[in-house]
Amino acid sequence: MRKLTALYTLLMLALLYIGLVIVNNEVFDSVRLDLTESKIFTLSSGSQQVIDGMDEPVTLYFFFSQEATKGMTALRNYAERVESLLREYEKASGGSIRLKVIDPEPFSEAEDKATQFGLTGATLGNNDEVVYFGLAATNMLDDQLTIGFFDPQKEQFLEYDISKVLHQLSDARQPVVALISDLPVAGGQNPMTARFDPPMVFYEQLTQLFDVRRVPSDADRLPEGTDVVMLAHPKQMSEALKYAIDQFAMKQGRVVAFVDPHYESDMLAMMGSQQPNGSDTSLLRDWGIDIAADTILLDGAMGLDIRGPKGEVIKHPGILGLSTQQLSRSDVITANLDTINLASTGTLALLPSSTLDITPLIQSSAQGYLYDAQDYIAQAGTTALKRGLTGTPLQYTIAGHITGTTISAFGQAIAGADPATFKATTDNLNVLVVADADMLADRFWVQQSQFFGETLHTPFANNGDFITNIVENLSGSNALISIRSRGQSARPFTRVATLQNKAQKRFREHELQLQDELASTEEQLAQLKNHQGQGGTIVITDEQQRTIDRYVEKRLKIRRELRDVRYELDRDIDQLGNWLKFVNIAAAPLVLVLMLYLLALALRLRPGKAYTKE
């Protein structure tokens, strides 16, 4: 009887297990519990809005070379992370997104398909095998976009990159950029040389990617269907145009402004002038954004070398070359940029009464100083500017993304405008301000050369990439713009790194001490070699021998201390590793055994008898 009862129990447990698996796969398959700190396995609300806004199905082709990446543990782990996120997109779409995972083996049709999409294989490691790790996306109209290779260094922007592909497929039209500028962006005849200048390089780049429509400063409206308004050093705009821009921003339009307290690249405007060549910033100020018009930022650490009036090379604190330390690493616009050059830049802040929020994108070093703009003009290009590097240095914001609540710059609709369409406030102002317009000028970021009659542009700074990234980011939907950088799946062992750094510091101190002692010992031995007796033999006195013995003994003692420090380092890390192994390996079984013991104890204490003897 007991055998039948045991078999019956095992059979019921097996059926229960199979039933639970079926229920889990069918009912709870979409249930997720993301316990990571940054919720990296959960789609953000912005990505969900992008998916909800898709009006036609999209097919995603995820290419990853499984065979060629054997042994590349980090890359394979990241590929699993990418595939997991793509499947989240597929499940969240409700059937609008279909994912196909493809292993493009060498000389296969899958590899031909990857090549057809334009994906480029990379040769990694010591072998010559080509690794594909990219994404191709197509819609019903056969439009296609690709991510050529998923760079693990850009993991924090993985969700943004995928959502951007989906957004661009669902809205294939070129974004309309209304460019308002008093700069000769389209080229033309130079009044100083009487020659025809080509278009500015940043303008040529934008026209290749966007539908750029130039708007004169005296216009009274923006072009129909404008997605982004770009202000590039407008000196004086008409009230009607200001009103059009204001209402565009109040109605959740996106604005990027390159404004400057002194645009020094316009040599014609500066001939014989001692007044700053500043931009019109009145509209920004009415929104609560402060760009000082009478001061220029000097940076004692980031100044570039220029040729002085007498031919000498001087470090100009007003012409800045900013590196990765001054560029935000957490924003998709600046995360992958290395260098940005600026000149006579201003500073960006919010007025005390402002209710806006600012996210800095570009900042000066901690050696920033404010200098009077008129004095700067009089002393530009001379060493006299260095006298401005006095007082208490601070770090200043040069470019930032400004969002939040503000009021219109106009109390009511202007004459000729429809009062019914007037909007007095907004909770979603979206403005990106750069307190410098000289960065748009070719001379600060691109070098031109002639090659068989063709003009080649070779960038030596990332100004052009920065401008393009801004417009590309702002021209996306509000949902896409809201997607910020996420965390990384690979989390460092900060405790281990702290132990290593602490012990390494001690190790380094002893190492330097040992090197000093060795140098002193070698010097003593070199002096002893000069004391030679007959036959060229070295004559060493008893005192010298005791000195040598003392140094040798001291050297051995320090070496023993170094070994002890290294042992302490390894011991602390080993103890931490052993504890983690215990938690990961032994803790779970112990908890399970304890739970089973408590369950058995509860059943044993249950009233009545479990078995009846015959």
DSSP 125-166: SSS--EE-EEEEEEETT--EEEE----GGGGGGHHHHHHHHH
Band of pLDDT at residue 20, cut at 50, 70 and 90? confident
Which one has a higher pLDDT value, 1 or 420?
Answer: 420
Q: Is the pLDDT of residue 29 over 90?
A: no
Backbone angles phi, psi at 221, to 5 degrees: -155, 165
Q: Is the pLDDT of residue 614 over 50?
A: no
Q: Which residues contact 63 (CB under 8 A, 6 or more apart)?
A: 102, 103, 104, 110, 114, 117, 119, 132, 133, 134, 135, 136
Supply the pLDDT for residue 279: 94
Least confident of 56-60, 342-346, 510-514: 510-514
Q: Is 160 exposed, middle or buried (0-12, 13-18, 19+ CB in 10 A)?
A: buried
If DSSP codes are grouped into helix, strand and coil, which group holds residue 350?
Answer: strand
CA angle 212, 456, 270 (to 5 degrees): 65
**CB-CB contact of 248 with 423 (8 Å):** no
The 10s digit of each residue's pLDDT in 442-472 is 999 998 776 656 667 789 999 999 999 999 8
How far apart are alpha carbons 572 and 291 in whole angstroms? 53
Supply the pLDDT for residue 6: 64
Per-residue pLDDT, averaged over 280-307, amounts to 92
Per-residue pLDDT, averaged over 304-326, amounts to 84
Q: Could you give the count of Cα atoms lying within 13 Å of 294 in the half-sphere of its Cβ?
A: 0
What separation in angstroms does the CA of 203 have from each of 174, 265, 462, 520? 16, 16, 15, 64
Q: Is the pLDDT of residue 256 over 90?
A: yes
Positive or negative CA dihedral for 345, 328, 150, 83? negative
The 10s digit of each residue's pLDDT in 204-246 is 999 988 999 999 999 999 999 999 999 999 999 999 999 999 9
Q: Is the pLDDT of residue 284 over 90?
A: yes
The 10s digit of each residue's pLDDT in 602-611 is 766 655 554 4
Pairing of strands 295-299, 368-372: antiparallel
Per-residue pLDDT, averaged over 503-513, amounts to 60
Per-residue pLDDT, averaged over 480-490, amounts to 60
What separation in angstroms does the CA of 2 have from each of 281, 287, 375, 606? 90, 84, 102, 20
Q: Is the pLDDT of residue 162 over 70?
A: yes
Q: Which residues contact 581 (CB under 8 A, 6 or more apart)?
A: none
How far apart are alpha carbons 230 and 211 in whole angstroms? 12
Mean pLDDT, the chain, whole residue set = 82
Supply the pLDDT for residue 275: 81
Q: Is the pLDDT of residue 312 over 90?
A: no
Supply the pLDDT for residue 611: 46
Supply the pLDDT for residue 2: 59
How far apart are alpha carbons 505 and 489 in whole angstroms? 29
Q: Does domain 45-170 fall into CATH 3.40.30.10?
A: yes
User: What is the separation, in whole angstroms, between the first and last Cα of the chain?
Assistant: 10
- DSSP symbols for 20-56: HHHHHHHTSTT-----STT-TTS--HHHHHHHHT--S
Positive or negative CA dihedral for 592, 596, 599, 605? negative
How far apart are alpha carbons 155 and 135 in whole angstroms? 14
| pLDDT cut 70: percent of the chain above it | 75
Per-residue pLDDT, averaged over 118-136, amounts to 82
Q: Which of 319, 323, 313 is nearest to 300 (CA)?
A: 319
Per-residue pLDDT, averaged over 14-38, amounts to 67
Supply the pLDDT for residue 359: 95
How far apart are alpha carbons 146 and 63 in whole angstroms? 11
Q: Which 8-state DSSP code applies to residue 538?
A: B
If DSSP codes are grouped into helix, strand and coil, which group holds residue 320?
Answer: strand
Per-residue pLDDT, averaged over 20-41, amounts to 63
Which one has a higher pLDDT value, 481 or 185?
Answer: 185
Per-residue pLDDT, averaged over 92-111, amounts to 91
The 10s digit of each residue's pLDDT in 353-407 is 999 999 999 999 999 999 999 888 887 656 677 777 888 899 999 999 999 999 9
Question: Residue 93 belongs to what H/E stretch?
Answer: none
Helix and strand element counts for the chain (H, E): 15, 24
Per-residue pLDDT, averaged over 54-67, amounts to 92
Backbone angles phi, psi at 40, to 5 degrees: -75, -15
Band of pLDDT at residue 562, cut at 50, 70 and 90? low
- Residue that is written with structure tokens 């199905």 in the block: 57
Token reading at 586: 């032994």
Supply the pLDDT for residue 173: 81
Per-residue pLDDT, averaged over 36-65, amounts to 83
If DSSP codes are grouped into helix, strand and coil, which group holds residue 492?
Answer: coil
